[in-house]
């Protein structure tokens, strides 16, 4: 970190680099200017108060002279030493959070944006609203995370949202560089909810589907089991997405992708009437069948099959498990499921005890032969 006597000319001549950098003033201790990779600049103060590091933005060099910024910084430092830290609306947590959502919202799917907004409003803002973004420490985040121990799923899904907000604060010069207080905080270990179906359970499910009567839910569920797709991908399928014997999904969770169909899956789609742009239209809304309708139908069908603890998403797990135990590689299964990261696919695969026993026997035979 360089130091110099800041002047208007020197601040104007400071050029951005690949990384954010700070230049300290030699006239007023704790005062300086931050130069962002984007070319933006911010006057700041950096001080200590009651053992807490305080970082505040003083102003923008585009609208303030060095002399004016130094005078304001001197007053802010005096307030801090007197125990009266001044509030700045532009650097309040909730203000920066809105900036982060505006900046990243366009990159999130609509459903993801809605979920992230839910976690912001219900899990994050009640704890951090009104706080200066630069004053939030790792201990503050640990305390917040601990307060959500009764809802570990919400805690784990809220943490990345909070981290994005902190990254935006750093990028905009509102926090010291590399100061993200979410870094290194371990997520909750939740009980594994993955559920894999046995051969006998698949037989019971097939029987329940045959006995369910006419319902759009039946072909949807069959396709989920035969493709490993997410329920929203099949439920919102358009006929224009089904061509050349494949599904060409335009808006999957990980972006556009192709779903390869077996003859059994193609037969289901070929047997459906084409009375709507949607493969599974809702009779009430004119759009695709809604998730709650499918959920209610699944509850009845799984109860009839004696599978009350099986979720629709578990059919995706079952598809991956059958593919891997049938000899397909994790990379191939990941492509079938539309995963971008093989580590994600590993969470879906499952080896039965019998398969593990066979593998142990086979390895034992090979190793014993090598010893001899």
Q: What is the mean pLDDT of residues 334-352?
A: 62
| Residues paired with residue 48 on neighbouring β-strands, in sequence order | 53
Would you say residue 227 has pLDDT above 90?
no
10 Å CB burial of residue 149 (0-12, 13-18, 19+) is exposed
Segment 16-20 long-range contacts (CB within 8 Å, at least 24 positions apart)? 19/177, 20/170, 20/171, 20/173, 20/177
* Range with the poorest average pLDDT among 55-64, 185-194, 258-267, 349-358: 349-358
| Residues paired with residue 34 on neighbouring β-strands, in sequence order | 22, 42
pTM of the model: 0.55
Task: Name which of 119, 185, 128, 193 is nearest 151 in CA terms.
Answer: 119
Query: What pLDDT is stored for residue 260 in this prediction?
Result: 85
Q: What is the mean pLDDT of residues 172-198?
A: 78
| Residue 205 CA, distance from chain mean position | 32
* Range with the poorest average pLDDT among 30-44, 142-156, 178-192: 178-192
Q: What is the mean pLDDT of residues 254-259?
A: 77
Query: Which of the listed ranges 27-31, 48-52, 198-202 does the model predict with the highest average pLDDT?
Result: 27-31
Would you say residue 139 has pLDDT above 70?
yes
Query: What pLDDT is stored for residue 274 in this prediction?
Result: 93
Position with higher pLDDT, 277 vs 354: 277
| Residues paired with residue 79 on neighbouring β-strands, in sequence order | none
pLDDT band at 118 (very low <50, low <70, confident <90, very high): very high
Alpha-carbon gap, residue 204 to 197, rounded angstroms? 10
Would you say residue 352 has pLDDT above 50?
no
Q: What is the mean pLDDT of residues 242-249?
A: 90
CA dihedral 144, 145, 149, 151 (to 10 degrees): 100
Task: Name which of 38, 36, 41 is nearest 6 in CA terms.
Answer: 41
Query: What pLDDT is stored for residue 181 in this prediction?
Result: 93
Q: What is the mean pLDDT of residues 78-84?
A: 76
CA dihedral 194, 195, 199, 200 (to 10 degrees): 170
Crossing angle for the helix pair 93-105 and 110-119, to the nearest 10 degrees:
170
Q: 84-104: string of b/e by CB count within 10 Å (b at 16+)? A: ebeebeebbbbebbebbbeeb
- In this structure, the number of other CB atoms found within 10 A of the CB of residue 355 comes to 12
The model's pLDDT over 37-46, given as tens digits with 9 standing for 90+, comes to 888 899 998 8
Q: Does residue 213 contact residue 305 with C-beta atoms inside 8 Å?
A: no
Would you say residue 363 has pLDDT above 90?
no
Q: What is the mean pLDDT of residues 239-256?
A: 83
Alpha-carbon gap, residue 175 to 51, rounded angstroms? 17
pLDDT band at 254 (very low <50, low <70, confident <90, very high): low
Would you say residue 305 has pLDDT above 90?
yes
10 Å CB burial of residue 302 (0-12, 13-18, 19+) is buried
């Amino acid at each position: 970190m360089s130091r110099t006597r800041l002047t208007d000319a020197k601040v104007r001549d400071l050029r951005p680099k690949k990384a954010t950098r700070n230049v300290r003033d030699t006239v007023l201790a704790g005062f300086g200017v931050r130069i962002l990779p984007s070319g933006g600049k911010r006057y700041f103060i950096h001080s200590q108060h009651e053992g807490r590091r305080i970082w505040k933005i003083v102003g923008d060099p585009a609208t303030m002279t060095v002399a004016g910024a130094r005078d304001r910084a001197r007053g802010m430092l005096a307030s801090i030493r007197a125990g009266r830290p001044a509030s700045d609306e532009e650097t309040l947590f909730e203000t920066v959070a809105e900036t982060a959502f505006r900046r990243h919202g366009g990159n999130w799917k609509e459903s993801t944006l809605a979920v992230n907004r839910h976690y912001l409003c219900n899990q994050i803002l009640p704890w951090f609203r009104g706080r200066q973004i630069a004053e939030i420490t790792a201990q503050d985040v640990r305390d917040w995370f601990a307060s959500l121990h009764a809802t570990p799923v919400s805690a784990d899904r809220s943490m990345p949202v909070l981290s994005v907000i902190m990254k935006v604060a750093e990028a905009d010069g509102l926090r010291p560089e590399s100061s993200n207080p979410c870094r290194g905080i371990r997520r909750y270990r939740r009980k594994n909810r993955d559920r894999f179906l046995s051969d006998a359970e698949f037989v019971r499910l097939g029987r329940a589907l045959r006995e369910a009567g006419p319902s759009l839910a039946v072909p949807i569920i069959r396709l989920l089991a035969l493709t490993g797709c997410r329920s929203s991908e099949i439920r919102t399928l358009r006929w224009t997405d089904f061509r050349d014997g494949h599904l060409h999904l335009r808006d999957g969770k990980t972006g556009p992708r192709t779903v390869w169909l077996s003859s059994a899956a193609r037969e289901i789609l070929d047997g459906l009437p084409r009375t709507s742009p949607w493969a599974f239209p809702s009779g009430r809304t004119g759009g695709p069948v809604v998730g709650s309708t499918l959920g209610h139908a699944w509850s009845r069908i799984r109860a009839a099959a004696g599978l009350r603890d099986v979720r629709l998403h578990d059919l995706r797990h079952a598809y991956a498990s059958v593919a891997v135990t049938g000899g397909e590689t994790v990379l191939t299964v990941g492509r079938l499921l539309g995963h971008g990261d093989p580590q994600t696919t590993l969470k879906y695969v499952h080896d039965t005890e019998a398969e593990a026993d066979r593998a142990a026997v086979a390895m034992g035979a090979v190793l014993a032969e090598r010893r001899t």
